[in-house]
Amino acid sequence: MDENALNDPKLKAAVKRIWSDAAVPPELRARVQQMLSDAPNAGVAPRWQGYAIAAVLLIAAGVATWLPWNFSRNVLADQTLPWTVADSMVQTHDRCCGARDHHLLRGVRGDDFAAIGRRLSRDLGVPVLSTALPHWQFAGAGPCPVWGHESAHLLYRDGARTLSVFSIPARDFSLPGKDDRYAATRDTHRLAGFVRDGGLYCVVVNSPDGQITEAQAAHMRDQLLGSFNQDSFVAAAPSVAFAGH
Amino acid sequence: MPVKLPRQQFESLALAQLDTLYRVARRLTGNPERAGDLVQETYLRALRAAGDFELEEFGIRPWLLRIMHNLHSTRGQRENRQPRAMDEQHLAANSPEAPPPMPSDGDAAALFDSMDEQLVAALENLPMEYQQVMLLWAVEDLSYRQIAAALDVPIGTVMSRLYRARQSLANDLREYAQRQRLVRE
């Protein structure tokens, strides 16, 4: 078929002159652009993708429920800290950072980390990491809840940066065997922990400027693990330096 | 061969058709606010169907236009304001195998070239089906096949509508010119 059979350049040019001036209102353009950019959650996926997403969500929900209670089976050998535990530690960290003073133990000097460790350890039944940290100012220690269980919580500050060291009976979380190490990130919080002799020990460090990396948190955890002393319930001061110090 | 588009490319191609869709919506609705609503609804429908969209021979424009026309048609039915019905018997007579001949007089071409003011009124007097074909052909530069795909009609219908639209415009302008003694009787 000859598509030019009905062509009429003059008519075409005239209609174009008359009808091509309808400009899109700026607010309509903005709304459409917004609609397109917001669309990833608005059902762009074809039907089969919707089913796939639903299936993934279902599986994820199942795993999330199953994970904390089955961690002892060592299924997650990639050493990801259970998200329920990680989130709870971050919440406790933030809450304690906002307190006027963190639970200072009565009758225990603030610089006597051995005494702090012994006191807290007596209540928890597991060794407690209690030590001075280079470049960090000790801000208090006390028993604090993590996911419904009591933990020993030591808090430190360095300007806007904050750091927690948690010691928690690992039995409360059905964590796997000794020497396993964990890491996680929640927003600007870096978490790094390990299991040793029935206890879960975890560093939570928060730097609003985001300059402390997960690797640096993991390095500090490894330093603490290397200096861990079960007999005295304290850890020797690790030689840890964070970026910016 | 149909091609599935990555999400970002789909968005980019769809957004590039905003001007076309708005112009068509203005023709269909005759009202800027209703046109804006129709355009947004068209994009919403397109996004819902984006996962099933495959880039075919004609690109995304006819696909979006078809969504808009279907939407407008559905709205029209819902509001009991259907567009004027076409003379289907007449359309059938103008099959693709036998496209109607175009008028060959030079006067009509000269009229289109010199009477914009009268042409505006003549265009507005066209049935909506004719206006749509005229708009897609003249302003949006769609081929007959693309127009047929966009309006979901046979290509013969596109050619017939275009022919009749041109004939109607030429008649209107000629009558005006004769009244004004711009052309010979």
- Whether residues B113 and A13 touch (CB distance < 8 A) is answered with yes
Verify that A58 and A91 share a domain, yes or no: no
CA–CA separation, B23 vs B112, rounded Å?
Answer: 21
Q: Which residue has the higher pLDDT, B154 or A79?
A: B154
CA dihedral B3, B8, B14, B16 (to 10 degrees): -120
What part of B 10-49 touches A (C-beta under 8 Å)? 10-11, 14-15, 18-19, 22-23, 26-27, 32, 36, 39-40, 43-44, 47-48
- For residue A207, give the amino acid letter: S
Domain with B143 in it: 88-179
In a domain, B185, yes or no: no
For residue A71, how many other CB atoms are within 10 A of its CB? 21
How far, in Å, CA of B5 to CA of A226, rounded? 53
Q: What is the DSSP letter of B137?
A: I
Q: Residue-wise pLDDT tens for chain A (245 aa)?
A: 444 456 788 888 888 888 887 788 888 888 888 777 766 543 444 455 555 556 666 665 555 544 443 333 333 333 567 667 888 899 999 988 887 777 767 777 777 888 888 888 887 777 888 888 888 888 888 888 887 788 899 999 988 999 999 998 877 665 555 557 888 888 889 999 888 777 888 999 998 887 788 778 888 888 787 776 654 455 544 544 443 33
Question: Do B65 and B140 belong together in one domain?
Answer: no
Do residues B95 and B59 both lie within one domain?
no
Looking up residue B11, the CATH number of its domain turns out to be 1.10.1740.10
Q: Which pLDDT score, from 0 to 100, does residue A73 have?
A: 33
Domain end among B51, B78, B105: B78
Q: Are residues B98 and B164 in the same domain?
A: yes
Number of Cβ within a 10 Å radius of residue A198: 15
Of A195, A145, A149, residue with least CA distance to A170: A195
Angle at B58 between CA B57 and CA B62, to 5 degrees: 145
Domains held by chain B: number: 2
Q: Which of A215, A108, A90, A86 lies closest to A162 in space, CA to CA?
A: A90
B170 and B94 in a common domain: yes
Asked if B48's CB is within 8 angstroms of A44's CB, the reply is yes
Asked if B83 and B129 count as a contact pair (C-beta separation under 8 A), the reply is yes
Indicate the residue type of A175. Answer: L
d(CA B134, CA B142): 10
Q: How many domains in chain A?
A: 2
Mode of pairing for the β-strands spanning A181-186 and B3-4: unpaired
| A23 and A102 inside one domain | no
Where is the domain boundary, B31, B58, B78?
Answer: B78
Q: Which two tokens stand for residue A219?
A: 């390095």
Residues A93 and A52 in one domain: no
- Cross-chain Cβ contact A5/B163 below 8 Å: no
Q: How many CB pairs (< 8 A) connect A and B?
A: 115
Do A119 and A71 lie in one domain? The reply is no
Q: What is the CATH number of the domain that holds A178?
A: 3.30.200.100
- End position of a domain, from candidates A54, A75, A96: A75
Residues A211 and A145 grouped into a single domain? yes
Establish if A2 belongs to a structural domain. no
pLDDT recorded at residue A245: 31
Q: For residues B126 and B86, give the distance between their C-alpha atoms in angstroms, rounded to a whole number.
A: 12
Same domain as A134, residue A68: no
| pLDDT at residue number A17 | 85
B13 has a pLDDT exceeding 50: yes
Residue A183 inside a domain? The answer is: yes
Q: What is the pLDDT of residues A47-78, one digit of tens each?
A: 555 555 566 666 655 555 444 433 333 333 33
Residue B57: which residues within 8 A CB-CB, separation 6 or more?
none
Q: Are residues B73 and B102 part of one domain?
A: no
**In this predicted structure, what is the pLDDT of residue A239?**
45
Domain that holds residue A52: 8-75
How close does chain A come to B22, measured CA to CA in Å?
A: 6
- Among B4, B5, B11, B131, the strongest candidate for a mutation testing the A interface, having the largest count of A CBs within 10 A, is B11
**Per-residue confidence (pLDDT) for residue B119, from 0 to 100:** 84
Which tens digits make up the pLDDT trace of B20-62?
Answer: 999 999 988 888 888 888 888 888 888 878 777 776 667 788 8
Is A40 domain-assigned?
yes
Instruction: Find out whether A10 and B21 touch, Cβ atoms under 8 Å.
Output: no
Instruction: Give the pLDDT of residue B171.
Output: 87
Determine the pLDDT at residue B22.
93
Of A207, A208, A178, nearest to A193 by C-alpha is: A178
Question: Counting every residue, how long is chain B?
Answer: 185
Instruction: Please indicate, yes or no, if residue A14 is contained in any of the structural domains.
Output: yes
A119 and A192 share one domain: yes
Q: What is the mean pLDDT of residues B147-169?
A: 90
Q: Which pair of tokens denotes residue B134? A: 């005229």
Amino acid at A78: D
- The residue type at B176: Y
Q: What is the pLDDT of residues B57-108, one digit of tens each?
A: 677 888 899 999 988 887 776 555 444 444 444 444 444 444 444 444 555 6
Same domain, B49 and B103: no
